[in-house]
Amino acid sequence: MKKNMAVYPGTFDPITNGHLDIIERASDLFDKVIVTIALNTNKKPLFTKQERMDMIRKVTGNFKNIEVDSFDGLLVDYAARKNASVIIRGLRAVSDFEYEFQMSLTNRKLAPNITTIFLMPNEKYSYLNSSLVKELAKFKGKTSCFVPDYVREKLERKFK
């Protein structure tokens, strides 16, 4: 049973196979999923917003119900502007839970009509994050099992 629209926020610097796993399952659950880049001033991304949006569009092109966007400010405000009723968050490990739980409760207090749903990636991606991928790429490590080929090529060019 599908429930209209969901927002899947993240920095996606870069998008990984773990992110794609969450996107694929979310696209089966919702009529529309907006994969949105959260512009976080506390982080210094490797890729520009435009580069990240390009990578996400390229690797999600086979999903017909995915939209790519970006936002600045509060996530619940963005979700409300987009008329999304659900926020999707990925949980890799127990260590993610405490932070995500606090954010979920805060968001519920700010916007009671928006529900946060936690999706766990396939266990083969449970340890994977963008920082690990960037570190591997920086030192010319193999990233092909962690990111799509298009993203791997972008990483290799960035670190040449």
The alpha carbon torsion through 135, 141, 142, 148 (nearest 10 deg) reads: 30
- Of the candidates 19, 32, 52, 89, the residue annotated as catalytic is 19
- Of the candidates 2, 43, 81, 124, the residue annotated as catalytic is 43
Q: Is the pLDDT of residue 1 over 50?
A: no
Total domains present in the chain: 1
The number of helix segments (H) and strand segments (E) in the chain equals 6, 5
| Residue 43 known to be catalytic | yes
| Residue 92 known to be catalytic | yes
9-40 pLDDT tens trace = 999 999 999 999 999 999 999 999 999 999 87
97-155 pLDDT tens trace = 888 889 999 999 999 999 999 998 888 888 889 999 999 999 999 999 999 999 999 99
Q: What domain range includes position 153? A: 5-158
CA distance 17 to 28: 17
- Of the candidates 130, 134, 152, 154, the residue annotated as catalytic is 130
User: What is the pLDDT, as a whole number, of residue 3?
Assistant: 62
CATH of the domain at 89: 3.40.50.620
69-94 pLDDT tens trace = 999 999 999 999 999 999 999 988 77
- Of the candidates 49, 58, 82, 92, the residue annotated as catalytic is 92
- ∠ Cα 115 118 119 (to 5°): 135
Neighbours of 91 (CB within 10 A): 17
Q: Does residue 138 sit in helix, strand or coil? A: helix
35-56 pLDDT tens trace = 999 987 777 899 999 999 999 9
